[in-house]
Chains A and B, each alone.
Chain A
Amino acid sequence: MNTPFYKYGAFGDETSLVVAFVIGIGFGFFLERAGFGSARKLVSQFYLNDLAVFKVMFTAIVTAMLGATYLAWMGVLDLSLVYLTPTVLWPQLVGGLVLGIGFVIGGYCPGTSVASVATGRLDGLAFVLGLPVGTLLFAEAFPWIRGFYENGSVGVQTLPGVFDLPYGLVVFAVVLMALGGFAGASWIEKKFQPR
């Protein structure tokens, strides 16, 4: 068995859109289950009252990472066929900071805001309406910021490649970091427990 199925031609573009919808249902379902349709639940991460964002996100990262690594090791999944966005250091650093700033101002991120609208939040709807405005501003500014947008372009880079370490060792380090983070998160939550 060779995967990714789509990359091996198991189905075409039309079917891939059905797959997209079904995978999206799973994504939205677990975002809402975790409480991520709620702005207060999400931003509590940044006030240290409730670190569910970190816990859910890193459990998901570790689950997908271990699954992908295992399937690749079994020869089932060709990791080189999984799309990775190229690394462009400076705009990704600044873009990340801007994303974080928007997160605490707005209370959602683009994915979770969709879950918030689905569960009736009008502030989530306002957030969603803001998204195309920000994109349009970026697009209109693009001719002027294009130089910065491409500043620090180093192509597709993975952490094992950057640090010249075996893939499995980095996977192991991320798992250890996550486990340490989960223990630390429980400790922090107790310390910052709202009364």
Chain B
Amino acid sequence: MSPTAQTLNEPWGDGRDATRAVDGAAPAPYMNPYLAGIGLGLVLLAAFVIMGRGLGASGAVNAFVAWVVGSLAPAHAQSNAFLAEYLGDGTTHPLKAWLVFEVLGVFAGALLSGLLAHRVRVSVEKGPRVSAGLRLALAFTGGATMAFGAALARGCTSGQALTGGSMLNAGSWVTMLAIFGGAYALAYFVKWQWR
């Protein structure tokens, strides 16, 4: 079974009990992609103009891991060049970082948008042929894989592809093209997850 155009534009499309959000209302359709892109671009532009930096996500994870390791094994964290960078000189809490607060904002903004459009509901997104448990395992694996890749590439889809892409950063374009390349190369082999 392949998704129909209809289900792709619904938030869950898992065929369960129609598509009702936590508030019982039917979900609103998604925004036109070009309009959403302009909105996203203006947010990014605001970050450039106000802060002199762009958006990010994986950097917040790095700060979080540096804080956890730094709390449990301070000497080990300090001796690790990758983590030490996020610990700084010890005068500032590692979680008191720009990207950590930005990511908290991402959660709040997405929740706001989801509630306004009746798209908040507890669900596991998957195709009909995989169990929820397998889907969760794959999502966990994908998250770990992307975090590893982001550390290597010095940023993820937010920090490199989106931010660096719009600043014409050469390394960001290499990373962006490689992300699409890697995803397209493997897509066929994990299609069963969704169909």
Partner of A19, one of B42, B50, B143: B50
Interface residues of A in 96-141 (CB under 8 A from B): 96-124, 126-140
Give the contacts of A147-175 with B (CB-CB under 8 A). 149, 156-162, 167, 170-171, 174
Quick check: B169 and A85 within 8 Å, CB to CB? yes
Q: Which chain B residue lies CB-closest to A193?
A: B5
Give Cα A170–Cα B168 distance, bound, in whole angstroms. Answer: 8
Q: In whole Å, how far is A163's beta carbon from the nearest beta carbon of chain B?
A: 9
CB-based nearest A residue for B183:
A100
**In the complex, per-residue mask of B153-168: 1 if CB is within 8 Å of any chain A CB, else 0:** 1111111111011111
Total number of A residues with any Cβ neighbor in B under 8 Å: 133
- Distance A6 CA – B110 CA, assembled complex (angstroms): 26
A55 and B103 alpha carbons, distance in the complex (Å) = 23
Whether A35 touches B11, Cβ cut-off 8 Å, given contacts A46-B184, A138-B151, is: yes
User: A71: CB under 8 A from chain B?
Assistant: yes
Q: Is B26 an interface residue (CB 8 A)?
A: no
Query: A17-B98, A24-B101, A106-B143 are known contacts. Are A101 and B182 too (CB-CB below 8 A)?
Result: yes
Those 6 A-B pairs whose CB atoms lie nearest each other, nearest first: A106-B142, A24-B105, A59-B37, A96-B178, A100-B182, A63-B41
Contacts A/B (CB < 8 Å), 15 sampled: A56-B33, A60-B41, A96-B174, A97-B185, A100-B185, A104-B183, A118-B114, A119-B110, A127-B139, A131-B147, A133-B147, A134-B143, A135-B147, A142-B80, A194-B8
